Amino acid sequence: MPIFTDTYIKELKPLTKRYEKYEKGGFGIRVTTKGVKTWIYRYKINGKTDKLTLGHYPTTSLANAKKQFMELRGLRKDGHKPKHIVEANKLKESNTVEKLFLAWYENYAAKHRKKPLQIKQQIDSDIFPSIGSIPLDKIQTIDITKALDKIVERGAPIHANRVLSTIKQAFNYGVSRGSLPYSPAISIRTRDIGGLEKRRERFLTLNEIKQLWLFLDSKNHKLSLHIKNAIKILLLTGVRTSELRLAEWNEFNFEESLWIMPAAHSKINLNIKIHLSEQVKALLMELKENNHSKYVLPGTSVDKSLTENALPRAIKRIQDRIGIPEWHAHDLRRTFSTQLGEALQVNPVVIEKCLGHKLPRIMATYNKNEMLLERKAALNQWAEYIENLVLNSNVIPLKHAI
């Protein structure tokens, strides 16, 4: 019997028929007619011969193949069946974090969550790239915290907390299904990732609104048309960023000046009608003329919507240039609500309807009026107010771009 060395293996040439060479103990190599060399382990159990593939040479080195052979031979001597061990190891390797999360998403999140697409984006963008390929029996708490720290480092601590919530739910699903004995995320607290979340009170003053609008209309930035118009539309309509980000053109009736938001995109899981002022329609038409996507705000490809991180990142980049103290995308919705009340003295119930909020239970039971005419008047008045505000010359000068 030969003694395997790299030189010996390299010199094995293909013949007209496939052949095998063996060392002592059943460690061998198979050579095909095309010269493909495959490591094998031949053994007998209860008088029956069986073979296992250990890898291909030179991808699997002689040393690596020999190590596998020695481990399997030792296990066989202890009464274990090598083939069963290899199959079990392959099963473990295929049971990755990605496989578990896809099962959780398809079997639970997609069926029972109000906004499954947002969860899918979290999984695809923030979870799979960092920990998706890790086998379930190898995933550790530190792998998860490192992935979440990356999100915090890019300036999205609140989003990191949302991703942590998704991770915990998926791993808990795995525990309930017997895929793993315990959740590796069970001890991770939001206060140690994105920090405790305080209720925000920030809204833009009228002067800040004017500063922001003039900045967006200036040449002091390199914001895309999608981001620039998105900020204006959010301020004019008070919709949530996710509702605008996921909006599709088939939801808009420009002749009737109406946006009918589907229940799947709304937080209250109901269709919401939103009046479109002339200013909002102009912004939307400008977007429509400059993209060929079904989405109002397409992402890097026309078949996907803008990611939920794109707008917050853009706003963070322009903070210092505008000269307005820290504000976030969602603060535009709070600004809309606050200024409709303070600047325009709009009825609070009308404002709640404009925001797409559900009325308190008793009011909702007896008041089914959608108040479309009142909402239309409020939105038109708000758009005209901003237009006049921007035309007024009394404003703090903009800072120069950096």
Residue 221's CB: how many other CB atoms inside 10 A? 17
How would residue 400 be classed by pLDDT, with cut points 50, 70 and 90?
very low
Q: Roughly how many angstroms between the first and final C-alpha of the chain, as a whole number?
A: 75
For residues 262 and 362, the model is more confident at 262
Query: What mean pLDDT is reported for the chain?
Result: 86
Q: Residue 179, SS3?
A: coil
pLDDT at position 360, please?
59
Query: pLDDT tens digits for 209-232?
Result: 999 999 999 988 899 999 999 999
The 10s digit of each residue's pLDDT in 54-63 is 889 988 899 9
Q: What is the percent of the chain where pLDDT is above 70?
A: 89
The predicted structure's pLDDT at residue 37: 93
How high is the pLDDT of residue 87?
Answer: 59
For residue 60, the SS3 value is: coil
The answer, yes or no, to whether residue 362 has pLDDT greater than 50, is no
Domain at 6-87, CATH homologous superfamily: Integrase, DNA-binding domain (3.30.160.390)
Sketch the domain layout of the chain as residue ranges: 6-87, 97-192, 206-391
Name residue 325's amino acid: P
Over residues 183-198, mean pLDDT: 88
Which fold is adopted by the domain 206-391?
hpI Integrase; Chain A (1.10.443)
Pick the CATH number of 97-192 from 3.30.465.10, 1.10.150.130, 3.40.50.720, 1.20.1250.20: 1.10.150.130
pLDDT above 50: residue 396: no
What pLDDT band is residue 399 in, cutting at 50, 70 and 90?
very low
221, 219, 247, 220: which is closest to 233 by C-alpha? 247
Provide the pLDDT for residue 111.
Answer: 86
Average pLDDT over residues 6-32: 91
Instruction: Tell me the three state secondary structure of residue 275.
Output: strand
Residue 81 tokens read as 């069946």
Q: Please state the rounded mean pLDDT for residues 325-349.
A: 92
Say whether pLDDT at 367 is over 50.
no
pLDDT at 167: 95
pLDDT at 270: 75
Q: Is 166 helix (H, G, I), strand (E, B) or coil?
A: helix
User: 101 pLDDT exceeds 60?
Assistant: yes
Write down the pLDDT at residue 388: 94
**pLDDT tops 70 at residue 369:** no
For residue 29, the model assigns a pLDDT of: 93
User: 108 pLDDT exceeds 80?
Assistant: yes
Q: What is the pLDDT of residue 357?
A: 80
